[in-house]
Chains A and B, each alone.
Chain A
Amino acid sequence: MIAPFVIIAILVGFTTILCTYRAVFGPGTLNRIVAANVIGTKAIVLLILVGYIIERPHFIDIALMYAVISFIGTIMIAKYLERGDLCSR
């Protein structure tokens, strides 16, 4: 069973292209960060689906690592925008 994985992967890639519009033309910094966060989520799903398509499901390790990195990046940018510095004294 490969066809549902391929179809869902193409669909998720298409929605990634839709989100890229907001990441490029979005007014202001925060809209771009939201688009980057969403694209990170879709990248996790795409990694898992591609791992199933090429029948090598150990891509899930990379997906787990990428989830952690994307989450920490979003949190740090939000903290920087809110306080003005990363490490408050």
Chain B
Amino acid sequence: MLTIDILTPDPLSTLINILATIMMAMGGFFMIVGSVGLLKFPDFYTRLHATGKCDTMGQILIIVGCMIYQGFDFITVKLFFVSAFYIFAGPAATHALMKAAYFTGLKVWKKGDPKM
């Protein structure tokens, strides 16, 4: 059953739930923006720009929301490790892909060209 039980009798728990929901909603917004950029941008490099920023940001914000909801626990440390790994791994993967595309001679889109 899907019930909206963000508001609880305990005010501190209510505050934690609202903060976690706001964080996860912001992460979902960044995920949507990254996916729309992946679909709509005209070039490989611009698509990489959209996904490399927005997707990392969205993932980290959603995980921070889960961390706030969980409280201080052993699981929070594991969530922190997932987030801290991706904050290094995402830009490294993006940089490697960009370098591979540049050295294999993929053309850069200029204004007025058709979509590639």
Nearest A residue to B32 via CB reads A15
Nearest A residue to B62 via CB reads A45
Q: What total of A-B pairs shows CB separation below 8 Å?
A: 141
Interface flags, A56-71, vs B, CB<8A=1, else 0? 0110110110011001
Q: Are B93 and A78 in contact (CB under 8 A)?
A: yes
Minimum C-beta distance from B95 to chain A (A): 9
**Chain B: interface size category:** 35 or more
Nearest B residue to A74 via CB reads B93
| Chain B residues touching A, majority SS | helix
Minimum C-beta distance from B45 to chain A (A): 10
Chain A interfacial residues counted at CB < 8 A: 45
From known contacts A71-B89, A82-B100, infer whether A34 and B51 are also in contact, taking CB-CB under 8 Å: yes
In the complex, A82→B105 CA distance in Å? 10
- Choice from B75, B82, B103 contacting A82 with Cβ under 8 Å: B103
From known contacts A3-B4, A37-B51, A82-B100, infer whether A64 and B35 are also in contact, taking CB-CB under 8 Å: no
From known contacts A64-B82, A71-B93, infer whether A82 and B59 are also in contact, taking CB-CB under 8 Å: no
- Interface residues, chain A, with chain B CB atoms under 8 Å away: 1-6, 8, 11-12, 15, 18-19, 21-22, 27-28, 30-31, 33-35, 37-38, 41-42, 44-45, 48-49, 52, 57-58, 60-61, 63-64, 67-68, 71, 74-75, 78-79, 81-82
- Interface residues, chain B, with chain A CB atoms under 8 Å away: 2-6, 17, 20-21, 24-25, 27-28, 31-32, 34-36, 38-39, 44, 47-48, 51, 55-56, 58-59, 62-63, 66, 69-70, 75, 78-79, 81-82, 85-86, 89-90, 92-93, 96-97, 99-101, 103-104, 106, 116
